[in-house]
A and B are shown apart, each in its own frame.
Chain A
Amino acid sequence: MIDQKPILEVSNLCTTFRRGGVDLPAVRDVSFSVGQGEVLGLVGESGSGKSVTLRSILGLSRRYGDVTGEVRWLGQDIASMPERKLRHIRGREIAMIFQEPMTSLNPLLTVGMQLTETLKAHTDLNRAARRDRAIEMLDHVGIPSAASRLGEFPHQFSGGMRQRVMIAIALAASPKLLLADEPTTALDVTIQAQILDLILSLADEMQMGVILVTHDLGVVAQTCENVAVMYAGRVVEQGAVRQVLGAPRHPYTVGLMRSVPQNVPPRTQLYSVPGTPPSLEALPVGCAFASRCQNRTERCLTARPTLDAITDDRRVACFNPVAAEKAGAA
C-alpha cells in the first residue's frame, strides 16, 4: 500500500521556544517520512514534543518559537513558505485534528459556519453546494440528523460529537495527509474506539496518509505501518511497527513495551515508565534518558547518542541498545 515516493518528508526539524530568557528545545532533529495512504504512529510520554512536531509541520509553531529544518510536502519545502502561500496547503492538502475537542471549536460560531468556511477557503463550491457538502460530511462522521445540527453551536454537542465535528472539518476538503493529534485521549473509553475506527476507515477510503499521535501502543500495533518513538523532543527509535514493537532496541521503547501488560485487550492505556523525563530547560549534556535507564554507562552521561541506522530502515539512538533476542523475549 505504501507508495514508493513519500508525500511528506521531515528532516532535522527543530523547534525552540523561549520562555523567560531560557531556550526550550521542544523538538530536536526529528526526521521521518510518510507515504501516500500510510499510517505513521508517533508515540511518547506527555511533553515529549508530539504536538509541537505536528504543529511545526503545519507552520503553526513558528509564531511561538524558532523552527528550523525541512518539511518537504510533495517535494516542496513548506517550512520556509510564507503564510499567504502556506494557507492553501493547510486544510486543503494537509489537515489536522487537535487533541482537545472541547476548546478547539470556536464557541461563538455555528458548527455549520465552521465547516463551510473551510470549504469556502479551499473549493469553488457555491453556498448551497457547501451546505450540502457540510451535511454530507457530518453525516459521514456519524452525527445523527446532520442537516438540523448545522445551525447549532459547539456547546450543544458532547465531547465525542465535537471530535466528530472536528474530523468532519478536517476532512471536508479531502486532504492527502491528516495530522491526528491524540484524537481520542480526551474522550470516553467507549467512544475512543469508534472515533479511531472512523478516522482509519476514512483514511483508507480516501487513500489519505495519517500521522497518528497516540499514547496507546495497542493502537499503533494494530493500525500503523511505521512508528517513531519520541523522548524529550527527540526521536529515539523508529522503524517498521513489527520490528520496533516486536523487538525494541532502545531501553525507553522496551520500558514502554513492558508497561503494556500481556494478555489484555488491545488499546489499553500504556503505563508510565518509572521516573520522570528531564525538564526542557535543563536537559543533561548526555543522553536525556540516562536518569531512568538501566543500561546506562559512563559514556551516556557525557555524550549524546545519535539516531543511527542499525538496519536499513530501523534507527535507534542509544549507546547500549538492548540485544535483539533479549528484547524480543521481554
Chain B
Amino acid sequence: MATLQYILKRLFLMIPTFFLVMIIIFVLVRFLPGDPAIAIAGDRASDADLEAIRERLGLNEPMLVQFWLFVTNTIQGDLGSSILMRAPVTEVIFNRLPTTAFLTLYAVGLSLLIAGPLAFVAALNRGRWPDVLIRTVFQVGLSMPVFYIGLILLTFLAAQLRWFPVGGYGDTFGARLYHLFLPSVAVALYTSAIIMRNLRSAIIEVLDAEYVQFARAKGLPNRLILGRHVLRNALISTVTLLGLSIGNLMSGTLVTETVFAVPGVGRLMLEAIFARDYPLIQGLTLTFAVLVSVVFLLTDLFQSTLDPRMRLT
C-alpha cells in the first residue's frame, strides 16, 4: 500500500515537469531552422501553395494559441497528425516504440551479461593482469563512438561476411534477436563499459566492507559471500547508474537505429527533424520525457526493494 501511494505521489509530481517539458519542446521546435511548408511541398512550390499548407497546419495562428492547442490536445491524448507519415502521431509512435524498447532492453541485457561477470573477475583480481586487460579493453570501447563501432560491425560482419543482416527487423522473437544483434552490440559496448567500471569499483569497495569480513568469519562458502553479500550491495549503485544513464542509452539507440536502419523511434526522430514535422517532433520528445521519468521511477522502486534502508516516502 505504501508503495502504491508512493507511485501515485511520484506520478503526480511529474505533472509540473511535463508542463515545463512541453514549453521547452514547443519553443525549441519553433526555432528549428527551415520551413515545414517547404519541407512538405518542396522547393518549387508556389507561395500560395505554401500559404495553404501553413493555414492547414495551424502555423499562422499566434504562438500562444498554438501552444494552448498543443497543451489541451496533449492532455486529451491527441498529439496531432504527423506531416511526414500522414497519420496520427500517437499511432506512428506506438507502432515504432516496441522496436526501440526491444533494442534498448536487448542492449541492457547484453551489457549486464558482458559486464557483470567481467566486473567480478576484474575486482577479484584487482591490480593483476586479468583486471588490467579487462579495463584496457573496456576503455577502448568507451572511447569509440557508437556510430563508428556500428559502421565497423556493419561493414565487416554484415556486409562482407554476411553473418548478420544489414538492416531491418524480424517478425518472430528469434528473428528479432538475430536482426537486432549487431545494433545491440553497438550500444552495449558503450553501456557495458560504463557498467563494468562502476560495478568493478563497487565490488572492490564492498569486498573490503566489515560485513563481508564478518560473513567470511562466519565460515560461509565463497559463492554465498560473493552472491548474497557482495553482489547485492554492489548492484545498488550500478542500478542507479543504469537508471540515470537512460538518457545516454536512448541517444545511443538513436544513432544505432539510424546506422542499422532499424525502424524504431530513434530513427523516426531524425526523419521527423529533417522533415520539420513539428507534431511528430513534439510527440516524440514528450514520449522520451515520459520514458525517462518512468525509468527513474522504476529505478527508485527497484532500489527500495533491494535496500531496506531506502524507505519510500
Residues in A lying within 8 Å of B, measured CB to CB: 55, 58, 60, 83-84, 87-92, 95-96, 98, 100, 103-109, 117-118, 121-122, 153, 155, 166, 169-170
Provide the residues of chain B in CB contact with A95, threshold 8 Å. Answer: 217-218
A83 in contact with B210 given A106-B229, A106-B233, A108-B307 (CB within 8 Å)? no
Report whether over half of chain A's contact residues are helix, strand or loop; otherwise say mixed.
loop
Q: Digit string of B286-313 for contact with A (CB within 8 Å is 1, else 0)?
A: 0000000000000000000011110000
CB closest chain-A residue, reference B209: A103
B211→A103 contact, CB < 8 A? yes
B218→A121 contact, CB < 8 A? yes
User: Interface-forming stretch among B36-44, B60-68, B175-183, B220-228?
Assistant: B220-228
| A–B complex contacts, Cβ < 8 Å, 17 sampled | A60-B213, A90-B217, A91-B217, A98-B214, A103-B210, A105-B211, A105-B214, A106-B212, A107-B308, A108-B306, A108-B307, A108-B308, A109-B228, A118-B220, A121-B219, A121-B220, A169-B218
CB closest chain-B residue, reference A99: B210
A104→B219 contact, CB < 8 A? no
Report whether over half of chain B's contact residues are helix, strand or loop; otherwise say mixed.
helix
A90 in contact with B229 given A103-B209, A104-B214 (CB within 8 Å)? no
A107 in contact with B224 given A90-B217, A95-B217, A122-B219 (CB within 8 Å)? no
Q: How far is the CB of B302 from chain A (nearest CB, A)?
A: 13
A91 in contact with B309 given A98-B210, A100-B210, A106-B233 (CB within 8 Å)? no
Confirm or deny: B162 has a beta carbon within 8 angstroms of a beta carbon on chain A: no
CB closest chain-A residue, reference B206: A106
B214→A92 contact, CB < 8 A? no
A117 in contact with B307 given A105-B211, A108-B232 (CB within 8 Å)? no
A89→B214 contact, CB < 8 A? no
Confirm or deny: B216 has a beta carbon within 8 angstroms of a beta carbon on chain A: yes
Q: How far is the CB of A199 from chain B (nearest CB, A)?
A: 16
The 7 A-B pairs at the shortest CB distance, nearest first, are namely A91-B219, A90-B219, A91-B218, A103-B210, A153-B308, A106-B211, A96-B217
Q: How far is the CB of B98 from chain A (nearest CB, A)?
A: 34
A87→B308 contact, CB < 8 A? no
CB closest chain-A residue, reference B308: A153
Confirm or deny: B215 has a beta carbon within 8 angstroms of a beta carbon on chain A: yes
CB closest chain-A residue, reference B236: A108
A104→B218 contact, CB < 8 A? no
Provide the residues of chain B in CB contact with A117, threshold 8 Å. Answer: 218, 220, 224, 228
Provide the residues of chain B in CB contact with A153, threshold 8 Å. Answer: 308-309
In whole angstroms, how far apart are the Cα atoms of A93 and B291 in the complex? 54
A60→B219 contact, CB < 8 A? no
B219→A88 contact, CB < 8 A? yes
Q: How many chain-B residues does the 8 Å CB contact rule pick out?
A: 23
CB closest chain-B residue, reference A172: B218
Provide the residues of chain B in CB contact with A83, threshold 8 Å. Answer: 222
User: Given contacts A105-B211, A122-B219, A155-B309, could you give 20 more A-B pairs where the C-beta distance is less than 8 Å?
Assistant: A60-B213, A60-B217, A83-B222, A90-B217, A90-B219, A91-B217, A92-B219, A95-B217, A96-B214, A98-B214, A103-B209, A104-B214, A106-B211, A108-B232, A117-B218, A117-B220, A117-B228, A121-B219, A153-B308, A166-B214
Residues in B lying within 8 Å of A, measured CB to CB: 209-222, 224, 228-229, 232-233, 306-309
Provide the residues of chain A in CB contact with B233, threshold 8 Å. Answer: 106-108
Q: Pick the contact of A89 from B210, B219, B221, B228 — CB < 8 Å?
A: B219
In whole angstroms, how far apart are the Cα atoms of A55 and B214 in the complex? 10
In whole angstroms, how far apart are the Cα atoms of A24 and B220 in the complex? 29
Provide the residues of chain A in CB contact with B218, threshold 8 Å. Answer: 90-91, 95, 117-118, 121, 169-170
Provide the residues of chain B in CB contact with A118, threshold 8 Å. Answer: 218-220
CB closest chain-A residue, reference B211: A106
Q: How far is the CB of B306 from chain A (nearest CB, A)?
A: 7
A90→B308 contact, CB < 8 A? no
Provide the residues of chain A in CB contact with B215, threshold 8 Å. Answer: 106
Provide the residues of chain B in CB contact with A107, threshold 8 Å. Answer: 211, 233, 307-309
B221→A87 contact, CB < 8 A? yes
Provide the residues of chain B in CB contact with A98, threshold 8 Å. Answer: 210, 213-214, 217
A60 in contact with B216 given A106-B229, A108-B306, A117-B224 (CB within 8 Å)? yes
Q: How far is the CB of A66 from chain B (nearest CB, A)?
A: 15
CB closest chain-B residue, reference A173: B219
